[in-house]
Each structure stands twice: as structure tokens, then as C-alpha cells.
Amino acid sequence: FNNELQRSEKMEIISELAASVAHEVRNPLQVTRGFIQLLAEKQQNSDKLYLNMALDELDRASNIITDFLTFAKPEVGKVATLNLLNEFIHIEGILVPMANLQGGRITVNIPDNLFIKGNSSKFKQASINIIKNGIEALNGDGDIHIWAYTANNDIFIHIKDTGEGMDEEVLKRLGEPYFSNKTKGTGLGLMVTFRIIEVMQGEIRFKSKKGAGTEVIIRFPSADSFEE
């Protein structure tokens, strides 16, 4: 009996489960949130406080799903050549409604001829976690600009926001599990992102200034120069 095969079958089952749990749990969370919100609006007394605390906890639960499992797919680590523009067309589909809801504009400038190697679901998860942080940093209004190009057999992706920015203290701690400065944050988004980028043999860098904004620069080997 082949042990490796057994292991990869197990991984496949786990990831299939995770994907369906994320999908199945998100809906009842949203429905419950709706009912509790209705109740909270009707209450005047101290019950309102409890109901609002319940809402915050429900939001935290659905943020965990967003940071881990937005694009979870029952196909573990299937590595393919990814057209960067294609990937970002899908990513935009999720992020533009999110930006519209929270305020802020997203512009994307990616040429059609950039290819990287990786798992499509995981790459999208990593990107969405970065961009979601950008949207949240805007606190209601501002811009996210995303662009990409190739240089010396590498693909560079820039994600720049005009949000609140970070100081040295925060920059040093990025990617640390459970490090979050948000009331409803999970502190898991960048940890997941860093891991995915590492597996893809990429690199991530942050340039940020408190009060001015943040620029995230990601480098990947281009698909044709990729080494196993």
C-alpha cells in the first residue's frame, strides 16, 4: 500500500470538507445575523448590548471563513500555469462588491501576457487577503490601485492603498498569527497569505507610512523560468 497516496487522499478529503463547511456555514451565519439585527433594532434596554455583541461575534466567524476559505476548492494544491489577468478578473468579482459596501474604489491594470505557477484557489485567497486589508484601511473612502509587470524573468504585482498606513511596530508583526488591530479582525489573513506565497516560491514586501497608505509588492518567478 502506498503511504504517499494515502496521505494525499487524506489531504484531499480534508480540503473537500473545509470547502463544503465554509460554504454550508456561511449561509446560516448570514440568516442568523439578519434576525438578530432585526431584534437589536427593536430593543431599547440592555438586551440591545447583548444582541450587538452577538452580531460582532457572528461577523468574526464569517471573517474567519473569508480569510481562510473564500476560494477553498476540493482540489488540493493542483498547480497550474496561471494567467494573472484571468485570476484578477475573478478576484475583482469578489472585491468590487466588498469595496462598494465599505467605501473605496479599486482600479486594476494588468496586461494579458503575465503567467505564474501555482494553485489558482490559493493564489486568489492570498490576493484577496491583501486587498481586503487595503479596503479596510481606507476606513470608508480612498483608492486601491493594482498593477503588474514583468522584469528579469520575474512577475511583480503591486497593490497600493491610500489608507491609514502602518508604523514600524505594526510592520514588524505582519503575518504573526492572531495579530490584529481590528475589532472584528482574525489576525489570520496575512499568515495564510505569507504561507501561500512562500509555497509559490514568491516574495512579499510592505512599504507603508502611517497616515499616507501602504504599498504591497509581490514577486513571483515567471511561469517559464519556474524550477521544481
Cβ neighbours of residue 209 closer than 8 Å, sequence gap 6 or more: 165
The three grid cell numbers given for residue 108, joined into one nine-digit string: 486594476
Q: Of residues 95, 99, 128, 190, which one binds ligand ADP by CB under 6 A?
A: 190
Stretch binding ligand ADP (CB under 6 A), from 46-54, 94-102, 183-191, 196-204: 183-191
Q: Interface with ligand ADP includes 187 (CB under 6 A)?
A: yes
The total of other beta-carbon atoms located within 10 Å of residue 88's CB is: 22
Residue 182's binding partner among ligand ADP, Mg ion, none (Cβ under 5 to 8 angstroms by kind) is ligand ADP
Residue pair 77/9 in contact by the 8 Å Cβ criterion: no
Residue pair 148/165 in contact by the 8 Å Cβ criterion: no
The total of other beta-carbon atoms located within 10 Å of residue 136's CB is: 18
Stretch binding ligand ADP (CB under 6 A), from 10-18, 19-27, 120-128, 172-180: 172-180
Q: Of residues 129, 157, 162, 218, which one binds ligand ADP by CB under 6 A?
A: 129
> Taking the complex as a whole, how short is the minimal distance between the CB of residue 170 and ligand ADP, in angstroms?
5
Look at residues 199, 192, 226, 217 and name the one whose alpha carbon lies nearest to residue 81: 226
Residues engaged in binding ligand ADP (CB under 6 A): 129, 133-134, 137, 161, 163-166, 170, 174, 179-182, 185-187, 189-190, 214
